[in-house]
Structure 1
């Protein structure tokens, strides 16, 4: 269980105390935000827009901008989506902080939330500074096409979401 309860008077609500520190999760999130921002700054400074550097037969580095969300969802909107996705990122960070504090002793759960929070912060920083997200990882299959370009923040969000599901399935299987 994630929290310890302290008994109060009969009929009173229990008082919850966190049984673990959030500092490791903040550190993990900070590492991913820094990695995300350093890679984006490097790409921004060394590549021209849409410039491609082939790495393997299925992977390129490319500099592209995404004003939308995953798969360029709402990317062609008139500009309001910048603030909409920034608000979603801020809400996600707030929710992650709340859930991590409430469930601080659940390591896999907090690990997943720290990754999701880091990705939301990383892409949120881009939206504030540039008005769009910088993507640069381009995977493709010859004859089939390119997967939408993405970045380290997107990886953190995706891995975090996967671990979140794994944690929930693990919890369901225990009961």
Structure 2
């Protein structure tokens, strides 16, 4: 459980510090875009009011608070799962990454009314129109890790 809590805390803090630095200190909310290493890495401000890639973004405040409640409920469910089921340290770490990322994006929805996405990466002639953030990366890595590192190990006979 300590691994999960520590991973969640570190993920949450890194996510929120990165958003504060880029959105507030670098003033990306006003500037709109900062070329860091174009086209491979560009800070491009995008306020995500919906789900992944802005899906369901036109449903206002009800959906905003629904996403916050869902993030907290999923995080609580994962914590209960970690406490009840024996997991490897990689499973516990993965759970922490997912929880920290989900709560980081939930805090954005409370503070800004939307998730602050700013990372944009393109390569090799492909121009990516979407932005994401550290929390999104950790949610994906955590979910993938939970798939890989949890569950019963079946003997192959």
TM-score norm. by structure 1 comes to 0.79
Q: RCO higher in 1 or 2 (8 Å CA, sep ≥ 6)? A: 2
Q: In the alignment, which residue of structure 2 is the partner of 1:31?
A: 10
1:69 offset after TM fit, Å? 1.4
Residue 113, structure 1, aligned to residue 95, structure 2: yes
The correspondence of residues 7-18 of structure 1 with structure 2, limited to 5 A, is none
Q: In the alignment, which residue of structure 2 is the partner of 1:14?
A: none
Q: Is the 8 A contact 1:43 1:63 kept in 2?
A: no
The answer to which structure has the higher strand fraction is 1
Q: In the alignment, which residue of structure 2 is the partner of 1:7?
A: none
Aligned length: 153
- Secondary structure of the 1:146 match is coil
Match of 1:137 among 119, 123, 127: 119
**Farther-moved stretch of structure 1 (49-58 vs 31-40):** 49-58
In structure 1, list runs of 5 or more residues that go unmatched: 1-21
In structure 2, list runs of 5 or more residues that go unmatched: none
Note the aligned Cα RMSD (angstroms). 1.9
Q: For residues 49 and 124 of structure 1, do their structure 2 counterparts lie closer, same or farther at Cα, with a shift above 3 Å needed?
A: farther
Q: For residues 96 and 168 of structure 1, do their structure 2 counterparts lie closer, same or farther at Cα, with a shift above 3 Å needed?
A: closer
Q: In the alignment, which residue of structure 2 is the partner of 1:99?
A: 81
Post-superposition Cα deviations, 1:116-163, rounded to whole Å, max 9, x if no partner, equal 111111001111111100011101235432152111110110001111
Radius of gyration: which is bigger? Answer: 1
TM-score norm. by structure 2 comes to 0.87
